[in-house]
Homo-oligomer: A and B are copies of this chain.
Amino acid sequence: MPELRKDYITPTWVVIATERAKRPKDFKPETEEAGDPAKCPFCYGNEHMTPSEVLAYRKAGSKKDEQDWWVRVIPNKFPALKIEGEVDHRVSQLHNRMNGVGAHEVVIETPEHFEHMGTLEASQIAETVAAYQARYLDLAKDTRFKYIQIFKNHGRKAGASLAHPHSQIIATPMIPRKIMEEITFARTYYQQTGGTCIYCDIIELELEKKERIIYQNDAFVAIAPYASRFPFEVWILPLYHEPYFERISPQDKGLLADNMSHVLRSYNEVLGNPPYNFYIHTSPNTPHEHHSFHWHIEITPHLTNVAGFERGTGFYINPVPPEDAASALRDGKKK
């Protein structure tokens, strides 16, 4: 019998489709062309092909916009939102629009064209996490930006137009609906329970149940959420309550990278380098202190197609029970 499960927080329902159940080996991601490093704007020697860097971790004595960096951040050449101008919001009858003010940056995670987060050392991922934090703190000074979305597209099917490992940061002039939704439900729960964080309670419940835990270290836990929308969906949460990603300590950056590395290496081993997205959900960049939220990362592979039923209803159909996904990713070996 299929099972319908509701997300812990939002009114999102998932069909765990037992009649269509799949094992890891049933998913065969297409092999993708990695492209030619000589023509890759993110490779050493091609720094002139990108806009000038806004941040780089580079060897002592090396020059801006030249090689010898290990993480490099640049403005996106084709930005979804543009940095210039004041926010101009107009409503005319049922037409509600704003000019596209924002920021759009690219974080090049390594000079190694043929690597990715599923093969890189955790120490290199920690450098990328450090760049996320540094750019976040700088962008957050701009009060036009109400939310700063850090995310990654890995693989063409997940939206990556270049194969060289990179993440992106988009700052938006309003709080996006998915963030607003999580924050609103977390606040309601906080008020109803007299001061409890729903994410802290999720962690406690899942650590007690054990069957959806993938990996835990001293600061973070990776779980397959109870109502996983996508096969092999993973959430990485700080074990201790913290609403703001950007307040991460130096030590925890290493532990976050360790946790991300475990999950993404498992993806690579168990699912054969699948396309995926991850995105950080953190508190908005507004003066109000969001004490009831709990920042986290959601990682969602692209192994099935989102079709008319999903688009029409907002339900998801997932042929892999999250308990099976957690078991496979915990072991980290091809089944």
**A interface, CB within 8 angstroms of B:** 1-6, 8, 11-13, 15-20, 78-82, 85, 93-100, 147, 149, 151-153, 156-160, 168, 170, 172-174, 176-181, 198, 201-202, 205, 226-227, 277-281, 298, 300, 305-309, 311-315, 317
Contacts and interface: CB of A to CB of B under 8 A. Distances in A.
14 contacts: A2-B79, A5-B97, A19-B79, A20-B78, A80-B309, A93-B201, A94-B201, A149-B312, A157-B305, A158-B308, A159-B307, A277-B311, A279-B312, A298-B312
9 nearest A-B pairs in the assembled complex, by CB-CB distance? A159-B307, A2-B100, A279-B312, A176-B313, A277-B308, A151-B308, A6-B96, A178-B314, A177-B314
A153 B312 contact: no
A153 B307 contact: yes
| Residue from A15, A80, A280, A307 having most chain B Cβ neighbours under 10 A | A307
Contacts of A281: 312
A4 B312 contact: no
Contact of A153 (B5, B8, B227, B308): B308
A81 B15 contact: yes
Contacts of A317: 80
Contacts of A198: 94
A84 to B, nearest CB: 8
A99 B8 CA distance: 17
A309 B172 CA distance: 11
A277 B305 CA distance: 12
A6 to B, nearest CB: 4
B180 A11 contact: yes
Contacts of A307: 151, 153, 158-160, 277
B277 A97 contact: no
B15 A100 contact: yes
Given A93-B205, A176-B312, A279-B313, 18 more contacts: A3-B100, A13-B176, A13-B177, A17-B100, A19-B82, A80-B309, A93-B201, A94-B201, A149-B312, A151-B307, A156-B305, A170-B309, A176-B315, A177-B315, A178-B312, A279-B308, A279-B309, A306-B306
A51 B71 CA distance: 57
A298 B178 CA distance: 22
A1 B97 contact: no
A278 B149 contact: no
Given A1-B82, A4-B173, A94-B8, A308 B278 contact: yes
Contact of A1 (B99, B178, B279): B99
Nearest to A158: B307
Contact of A4 (B18, B97, B177): B97
A315 B173 CA distance: 12
B309 A300 contact: no
Contacts of A279: 308-309, 311-313
Given A309-B170, A312-B298, A313-B147, A4 B98 contact: yes
